[in-house]
């Protein structure tokens, strides 16, 4: 595989960052995953952490160096992450189960497979247009599809944050899957939390993400989204990947997995750890943080084969 990938996550105007992002690749397969914790101070952040950590651990266990079936992996991974969140809530005797949206994408044999629950999105850019976009699991999206709300009112409508599917919570998640999507050289895939995509138009994505320097493009796009989000700017996160297979010449920052060993992995994750790019709330002591980390790991391990 040959690709360029860059991720960025920002706190916006919130007190803590409840978004979680990661990408991980073996010689033949790549995973990208983004989760957006839904409120509840520490607990929304924990739900997002469990979702991302579970999928990443499962990928490292099963992609040796390729997955047997990417869609089965996504289905089992998201479902088991949901149950790991429920298990965490039961052990902690929480009055309400933590929740998180999640979008994940697998690339294998130059084909992309993705799945999502909630309103974290995946965009597929090709030839200067948005070729594919996930459909939000939100009340507002249903109203727009029914013609009861105009798309341009999305940013200010009072139901814009009403989500009807997620990992965690009291109901099993609705998980939507893409078709198998063969990738062409130059295609861009972007996974975004709603804080990132909310202030943006398709033209913004195309303008910033189709530049030669993808890292620079993502950084400028996030700056634009954060500024447009204003005083109420949510956490905003993005992972963007440009597929480089069959490109003539070299691309700036491109990664090639050709020489990786069959059992090798590379992972880039913002973890729930001290010194992390996603620090936990500052009212927790070091001991409480370490305890939370251990509880997260325990919940994940119960659903790992």
Q: Output the pLDDT for position 273.
A: 44
Q: Output the pLDDT for position 276.
A: 43
Q: Output the pLDDT for position 282.
A: 46
**Mean pLDDT along residues 23-32:** 97
d(CA 243, CA 18) in angstroms, rounded, equals: 28
Match 């899957």 to its residue by tokens. Answer: 177
d(CA 64, CA 69) in angstroms, rounded, equals: 12
Higher-scoring residue by pLDDT: 242, 245: 242
Q: What are phi and psi of 223, to 5 degrees?
A: -60, -45
Match 């001290």 to its residue by tokens. Answer: 274
- Per residue in 195-210, is it b (16+ CB within 10 Å) or e — as a string? bbbbbbeeebbbbbbb
Average pLDDT, the chain: 88
User: What is the percent of the chain where pLDDT is above 90?
Assistant: 66
Structural domain of 240? 2-302
Sign of the alpha-carbon torsion through 292, 304, 23, 232: negative
pLDDT for 230 beyond 80: yes
Total H helices, total E strands in the chain: 7, 14
Q: How far is CA 226 from CA 51, 89, 196, in A?
A: 25, 32, 7
Sign of the alpha-carbon torsion through 39, 90, 23, 288: positive
From the number of C-beta atoms within 10 Å of its C-beta (0-12, 13-18, 19+), residue 230 rates as: exposed
Q: Output the pLDDT for position 142.
A: 78
* Total domain count, the chain: 1
Q: Output the pLDDT for position 275.
A: 36
**Cβ 122 vs Cβ 191: under 8 Å:** yes
Q: Output the pLDDT for position 297.
A: 83
Least confident window among 89-93, 255-259, 279-283:
279-283
Report the CATH number at residue 162. 3.60.40.10
**Mean pLDDT along residues 92-96:** 89
Q: What is the pLDDT of residues 140-163, one digit of tens each?
A: 777 777 777 767 666 665 666 789
């Amino acid at each position: 595989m040959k690709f360029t990938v860059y991720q960025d996550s920002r706190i916006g105007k919130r007190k803590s960052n409840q978004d979680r992002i990661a990408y991980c690749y073996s010689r033949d397969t790549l995973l990208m995953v983004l989760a957006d914790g839904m409120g509840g101070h520490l607990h929304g952040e924990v739900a997002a952490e469990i979702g991302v950590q579970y999928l990443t651990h499962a990928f490292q266990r099963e992609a040796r160096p390729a997955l047997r079936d990417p869609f089965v992996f996504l289905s089992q991974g998201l479902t088991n992450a949901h149950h790991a969140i429920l298990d965490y809530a039961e052990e902690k005797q929480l009055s309400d189960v933590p929740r998180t949206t999640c979008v994940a994408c697998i690339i294998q044999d130059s084909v992309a497979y993705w799945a999502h629950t909630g309103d974290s999105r995946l965009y597929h850019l090709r030839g200067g247009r948005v070729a594919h976009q996930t459909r939000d699991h939100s009340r507002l999206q249903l109203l727009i599809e029914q013609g009861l709300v105009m798309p341009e009112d999305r940013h200010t409508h009072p139901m814009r944050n009403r989500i009807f599917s997620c990992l965690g919570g009291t109901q099993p998640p609705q998980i939507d899957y893409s078709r198998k999507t063969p990738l062409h050289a130059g295609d861009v895939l972007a996974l975004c939390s709603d804080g990132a995509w909310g202030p943006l138009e398709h033209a913004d994505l195309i303008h910033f993400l189709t530049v030669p320097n993808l890292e620079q493009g993502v950084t400028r796009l996030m700056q634009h989204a954060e500024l447009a989000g204003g005083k109420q700017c949510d956490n905003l996160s993005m992972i963007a990947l440009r597929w480089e297979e069959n490109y003539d010449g070299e691309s700036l920052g491109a990664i090639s997995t050709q020489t990786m060993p069959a059992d090798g992995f590379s992972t880039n994750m913002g973890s729930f750890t001290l010194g992390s790019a996603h620090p936990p709330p500052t009212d927790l002591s070091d001991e409480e943080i370490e305890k939370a980390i251990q509880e997260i790991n325990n919940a994940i391990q119960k659903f790992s084969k």
